[in-house]
Structure 1
């Protein structure tokens, strides 16, 4: 695997980093005994494995399409100009000519979240797989703007730079919303869409990210202390506000050493300023008519029956599935079931 990083060298305020994943939601959707597909009425949800539309390959040049996409103003998106940033990414090559899989991580995450899964997906599908750092995360540049319009423009720029005319977008949580926005803007660019435990709806009720941000900002690590004690000291400072050990460990993956001190690699200020927007979803009057899979965790509350009508309106060809015994971190809780669902969804239809 060769990692191609196109972001500038980090400044004293921009640390490099390691991997992370988004924490569990605060409410449960209920147990499911097997991997099932839920019908949401009006024929919108088809069982996995039913015939799907074949890929569409006759596409305009990617640079022209990218420029056209930036020029189009969509209802509900910010009217001011968005300047894309060059994203850090990693590539695993595969021999298949089919559209590559592009993984977009969740809030506080990074491209390293999907590295082990990417290797297995390359082996099982033969497709090229890209894992991408969102702006203000991982090794991608910092930016004061943190909206879905901006993040989808970043991904569009990256795909243009790599001359990818079609791709399968796989987004977890925040990355899922970014993938949805890009699919709704650029139907011809997205061959298939996989949204991992996320729907096009308001998610404030099932998150505690404001408390996470407050606790992370309050962490004070003195200069000069040994690395062996830094993580323990940071965890002790997080413990009063964040009770669950798994969430503390997840947040601590963002603690990195740079410029002779320990810092958070995620841009906490930008996330704080745009948290309300990140918990919401833009108002689209268009729809993505390609194949889409909404893959939730049976113990998660991010995709509920209340979300089905909006999923049907925006993604009329959508399938909704729940992975048993998985929370919000579907790919981490049940990696084999996650890989199986993705492989089946992207498999070419029978001849």
Structure 2
């Protein structure tokens, strides 16, 4: 039975057919598995060695692999990972995407490239199959990998993101612009540096939880404070990050779109494209959660993941 949190009990197909569609979201032209279009002028897609953390569990089932969102890091899912090891017994893996956290920086920033990074790590760790759980940018990376290499993915969870363009609902470009304007003198205590950075972000970013999230990227190196995310590369490739590659072969495995009821990132307008690419998908909305579902409603998030894994 379809499980829904905080929204009417409608199956995906019914909801997609009944949903009003005042406008059609922009779509890339249909293509083959992987990235569509000409390879001419495209940067080399050399996979990068990602930084990761393993939370070990005794269960033999495929591990859960968490992919964070834009401007996040593997630390975003530390508490969630520990809880899921206890609940499921499965091994849980968290990783930093390229240009984020402790992973290498690169001028290339596309979902094809980020999918190859994850595939490289799965091969390195001898993981032939996994449950992919991706939030926002990580959700689009997870969807790309599942659509390209469905045999690697036992199940797929996309957290508060759909396989469509996100440019009309996002504030991330404003966040990045505000972060790039932050100026902090060297040689001051970390607490002072964080307070100065937050003061400079506040005029643009009024929500304190969002400011705290962004400030997790502030690091010190030899007395100088800087952002550990590659803001230049991310800003340059924002159109790629807000978009989604074109596919016409669906992922046939079980898929969960887990969204916040207070977030605009998964709407009824997205249902037809979700159904086309993920025919076995179910959609759940967690009541009272925004875009950062796992932070806003962590217990409900963990329960939804466990239910999707068919755990008692």
Structure 1 and Structure 2 fold alike (TM over 0.5): yes
The answer to whether the Cα contact below 8 Å between 1:193 and 1:292 also exists between their aligned partners in 2 is: yes
The answer to whether the Cα contact below 8 Å between 2:293 and 2:301 also exists between their aligned partners in 1 is: yes
Matched, 1:231 2:191: no
1:189 to 136, 140, 152: 152
Matched, 1:303 2:266: yes
Matched, 1:215 2:178: yes
Residue 272 of structure 1 corresponds to which residue in structure 2? 235
**Shift in Å at residue 142 of structure 1?**
0.6
The verdict on how the C-alpha distance between 1:232 and 1:78 changes in structure 2, with shifts beyond 3 A counting, is: farther
Residue 82 of structure 1 corresponds to which residue in structure 2? 45
Residue 323 of structure 1 corresponds to which residue in structure 2? 286
Residue 260 of structure 1 corresponds to which residue in structure 2? 223
**Shift in Å at residue 75 of structure 1?**
4.6
C-alpha separation between the residues in 2 aligned to 1:183 and 1:195?
Answer: 11
C-alpha separation between the residues in 2 aligned to 1:282 and 1:89?
Answer: 25
Moved more, 315-324 or 242-251: 242-251
Could you tell me which runs of 5 or more consecutive residues in structure 1 were left unpaired when the two chains were aligned.
1-31, 46-71
Describe the superposition over 1:20-64 as per-residue Cα deviations: whole angstroms up to 9, x where unpaired.
Answer: xxxxxxxxxxxx98366542326999xxxxxxxxxxxxxxxxxxx
Describe the superposition over 1:155-200 as per-residue Cα deviations: whole angstroms up to 9, x where unpaired.
Answer: 0000000010000000000000000000000010000000000100
The answer to whether the Cα contact below 8 Å between 2:34 and 2:245 also exists between their aligned partners in 1 is: no
The verdict on how the C-alpha distance between 1:75 and 1:265 changes in structure 2, with shifts beyond 3 A counting, is: closer
The verdict on how the C-alpha distance between 1:33 and 1:88 changes in structure 2, with shifts beyond 3 A counting, is: closer
**Shift in Å at residue 245 of structure 1?**
1.9
TM-score (norm 1): 0.79
> How many residues were matched structurally?
292
C-alpha separation between the residues in 2 aligned to 1:42 and 1:213?
Answer: 38
TM-score (norm 2): 0.89
Could you tell me which runs of 5 or more consecutive residues in structure 2 were left unpaired when the two chains were aligned.
18-31
Matched, 1:146 2:89: no
C-alpha separation between the residues in 2 aligned to 1:158 and 1:185?
Answer: 16
C-alpha separation between the residues in 1 aligned to 2:10 and 2:36?
Answer: 29
The verdict on how the C-alpha distance between 1:98 and 1:44 changes in structure 2, with shifts beyond 3 A counting, is: farther
Matched, 1:112 2:75: yes
Residue 65 of structure 1 corresponds to which residue in structure 2? none
Matched, 1:100 2:60: no
Matched, 1:168 2:168: no
CA RMSD of aligned residues (A): 2.0
The answer to whether the Cα contact below 8 Å between 2:134 and 2:141 also exists between their aligned partners in 1 is: yes
C-alpha separation between the residues in 2 aligned to 1:322 and 1:341?
Answer: 10
C-alpha separation between the residues in 1 aligned to 2:240 and 2:151?
Answer: 26
C-alpha separation between the residues in 2 aligned to 1:194 and 1:336?
Answer: 16
C-alpha separation between the residues in 2 aligned to 1:116 and 1:339?
Answer: 10
**Shift in Å at residue 240 of structure 1?**
1.8
The verdict on how the C-alpha distance between 1:38 and 1:146 changes in structure 2, with shifts beyond 3 A counting, is: farther
